[in-house]
Amino acid sequence: MTYCVGIKLKAGLVFLSDSRTNAGLDQISTFRKMIVYEKPNDRFMVLLSAGNLSISQSVREILQVEQLKDTPDSEPITIWNATSMFDAVRVLGSAIRRVRERDAQALQASGVDFNVSMIFGGQIGGESMRLFQVYSPGNFIEATAETPYFQIGESKYGKPVLDRVLTPETPLHEAAKCALVSMDSTLKSNLSVGLPLDMVVYEANQLHSDKVVCIDETNPYFQMVRSSWGEKLREVFDGIEDPIWDSIATAPHPLMQASSRLQALKKINTPKDKLI
C-alpha cells in the first residue's frame, strides 16, 4: 500500500509520499511514488501515485509523450505545452485511459483490478495554483477552500490531524509539519506504509522549488517530529479528566447521567433471554 497527501494553500502547495510497496509479507520493496515535472520559469507540477505499481509506472511513462486533441485540426496538448493545469490534468486522464484500454482486459483475466489513483498539482505561468485528485477511469476533482487537501492510499490514520489543522490560510511551514505528523500517524498504525519519504514544498508563483527532500529514518527533523508528537499526545491525554461514574451534583463532567434515553441494554439470564 501507500500513503500520499497533497495540500493547497494560499501560500503554496505541499506534497508528501511514502515509498513502500508490498505484494505480501515477504515481498516488500521501495519505489518512489512522486515525480516532479519542471520547466523553469514556465511550469512546476508534481504527480503522486497509489495503487497497482505497474499501472502507475505505465501512466507516468506515457504521460511524458501523451497528446490530447480537442478537434482533429487543433494543436496537440501535452503537459509541457498546456496553458492551464486543467488541460494538463486532462492529458493525465487521457494517459490513464490509454493504459486502461491496453491492459485492463488482460489484468482482469488474471484476477487483477485496474487500480490506480493519483494526486496532480502545480502551477503554470499565467494562472493560479491548482490541485486535483485523479481516479482510475481518468476523471478527476479539484481541491477547494473547503477541501484544501487530497489523500490517496492508506488515508484514514493521517486524516484527523489534517482536518483539525489545515485551512487555506495555514502557512507553508505549518502545513509541511502537519503533513509529516499525518504521515507519522500512518506509519505508526500501518506497516504497509514505510520510509523513506519524498516531500516537496512549493511557494506560490515561483514556478520552481528548492524545497525538495528525501526523508529517511536518520533525518533529524523527522526523528524529532515522531518523538515529540507521541510525547505531546500523551501529555494532552494525561491532561484530560478520567471518567467520573457518579452522577452527583459536585462532579463537573459525569460520564453517567440520569436519563431514560441513555440506558444501556443488558441481557439477563432468564428462560426467555429477556432484554431490559
pLDDT tens, N- to C-terminus, the chain (276 residues) = 799 999 999 999 999 999 998 756 667 788 999 999 999 999 999 999 999 999 999 999 999 999 999 999 999 999 999 999 999 999 999 999 999 999 999 999 999 999 999 999 999 999 999 999 999 999 999 999 999 999 999 999 999 999 999 999 999 999 999 999 999 999 999 988 999 999 999 999 999 999 999 999 999 999 999 999 999 999 999 999 888 877 665 677 877 766 666 566 666 666 665 555
Reference 117, options 199, 59, 36, 44; nearest CA is 59
Whose grid coordinates read 511551514? 173
Contact 207, 41 (CB under 8 A): yes
Determine, yes or no, domain membership for 208: yes
User: What is the Cα–Cα distance from 89 to 91, expressed in whole angstroms?
Assistant: 5
Determine, yes or no, domain membership for 146: yes
End-to-end CA distance of the chain: 45
Q: Supply the DSSP symbol for 267.
A: B
We report the CATH number of the domain holding residue 165 as: 3.60.20.10
Determine, yes or no, domain membership for 274: no
Determine, yes or no, domain membership for 149: yes
User: What is the Cα–Cα distance from 17 to 33, expressed in whole angstroms?
Assistant: 6
- Furthest C-alpha separation in the chain: 82
Q: State the helix-helix crossing angle for 220-239 and 172-189, rounded to 10 degrees.
A: 80
Determine, yes or no, domain membership for 225: no
User: What is the Cα–Cα distance from 136 to 100, expressed in whole angstroms?
Assistant: 8
Determine, yes or no, domain membership for 269: no
Determine, yes or no, domain membership for 210: yes
Contacting residues for 242 by C-beta, under 8 A, at least 6 apart? none
- The domain containing residue 165 runs over which residues? 3-217
If one counts the domains in the chain, the total is 1
Determine, yes or no, domain membership for 180: yes
